[in-house]
């Protein structure tokens, strides 16, 4: 994709791996690297709250993360029993997305007066099946699949762990608030390179790639306004 699109915008994209998201965001803030393209706006807000010296902003939405409920024990949401244990990610932004997903599945109700995208378990106002929630980190979520009734997480992580999407029992498209964003350093947003990078990611061919390429199809979903 980079070879086909970026030459039209006068830029070259090279991928660089760093140890963790904080290191990567710091590198973008300081201009060491141009951008990241993985975190949604709420995740970014948490990064900025924890690191007030960072200067970052979301430049454009690029994709929707595949995100769903998985279960080895039940074939549908309706089969989830009373008292079931469901695991969620243990960071606030992704816990909120997990709660949104369970609300969409009809398993819980959330307080309408609360911003859904910042919801916690304290904001659950109805839990008719008396579900219990277990908070786990990203690596532990897939490993826990056989130990709990259901897990909630990113399709990409399950695929990487060799877990079939046949075990995904509920996965509606994620809302705009959870779209993966091209995140840039605010101090560099007016430079020609960064402006061209944003235009490249806004090229319609990016969405075609997400919809059609077997390497990402079903893992990263096209973003549509």
94 and 128 inside one domain: yes
- What are the tens digits of pLDDT across the range 164-174? 999 999 999 87
Question: pLDDT at residue 148 above 80?
Answer: yes
Q: Are strands 179-185 and 56-65 parallel, antiparallel or unpaired?
A: antiparallel
pLDDT at residue 178 in the model: 81
CB 127, CB 121: distance < 8 Å: no
- What are the tens digits of pLDDT across the range 186-204? 999 999 999 999 999 999 9
| Angle, CA of 47, 51 and 54, to the nearest 5° | 90
Q: Please state the rounded mean pLDDT for residues 43-54.
A: 92
At 126, the pLDDT band (50, 70, 90 cuts) reads very high
151 and 82 inside one domain: yes
32 and 97 inside one domain: no
Question: pLDDT at residue 80 above 90?
Answer: yes
Structure tokens at 25: 């965001």
- Domain count along the chain: 2
Question: pLDDT at residue 1 above 70?
Answer: no
- What are the tens digits of pLDDT across the range 203-212? 999 999 999 9
Q: Please state the rounded mean pLDDT for residues 91-113.
A: 93
Residue, of 132 and 92, whose pLDDT is higher? 132
Last residue of a domain, one of 148, 170, 192: 170
85 and 42 inside one domain: no
Q: Which of 11-25, 92-106, 147-161, 184-198 has the lowest mean pLDDT?
A: 11-25
Domain containing 194: what range? 2-65+176-222
142 and 91 inside one domain: yes
Which residues contact residue 56 at a Cβ distance below 8 angstroms, ignoring those fewer than 6 apart? Answer: 25, 28, 29, 44, 47, 48, 183, 184, 185, 186
Which residues contact residue 79 at a Cβ distance below 8 angstroms, ignoring those fewer than 6 apart? Answer: none
Percentage, residues of the chain above pLDDT 90: 67
Last residue of a domain, one of 126, 155, 170: 170
Question: pLDDT at residue 43 above 90?
Answer: no
List the one residue out of 16, 21, 33, 23 whose CA is nearest residue 197.
33
Q: CA-CA distance, 110 to 182, in Å (whole number)?
A: 30
Per-chain mean pLDDT for the chain: 91
CATH of the domain at 133: 3.40.190.10
């Amino acid at each position: 994709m980079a070879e086909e699109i970026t030459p039209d915008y006068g830029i070259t994209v090279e991928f660089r791996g760093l140890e963790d998201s904080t290191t990567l965001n710091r590198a973008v803030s300081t201009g060491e690297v141009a951008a990241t393209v993985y975190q949604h706006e709420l995740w970014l807000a948490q990064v900025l709250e924890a690191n007030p010296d960072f200067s970052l902003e979301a430049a454009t939405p690029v994709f929707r993360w595949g995100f769903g409920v998985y279960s080895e024990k039940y074939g549908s949401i309706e089969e989830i029993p009373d008292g079931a244990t469901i695991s969620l990610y243990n960071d606030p932004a992704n816990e909120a997305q997990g709660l949104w997903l369970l609300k969409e599945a009809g398993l819980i109700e959330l307080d309408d007066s609360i911003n859904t995208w910042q919801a916690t378990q304290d904001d659950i106002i109805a839990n008719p099946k008396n579900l219990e929630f277990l908070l786990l980190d990203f690596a532990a979520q897939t490993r826990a699949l056989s130990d709990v009734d259901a897990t909630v997480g990113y399709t990409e992580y399950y695929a990487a762990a060799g877990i079939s999407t046949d075990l995904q029992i509920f996965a509606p498209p994620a809302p705009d608030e959870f779209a993966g964003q091209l995140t840039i350093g605010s101090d560099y947003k007016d430079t020609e390179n960064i402006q061209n990078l944003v235009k490249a990611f806004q090229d319609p061919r990016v969405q075609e790639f997400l919809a059609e390429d077997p390497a990402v199809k079903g893992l990263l979903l096209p973003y549509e306004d």
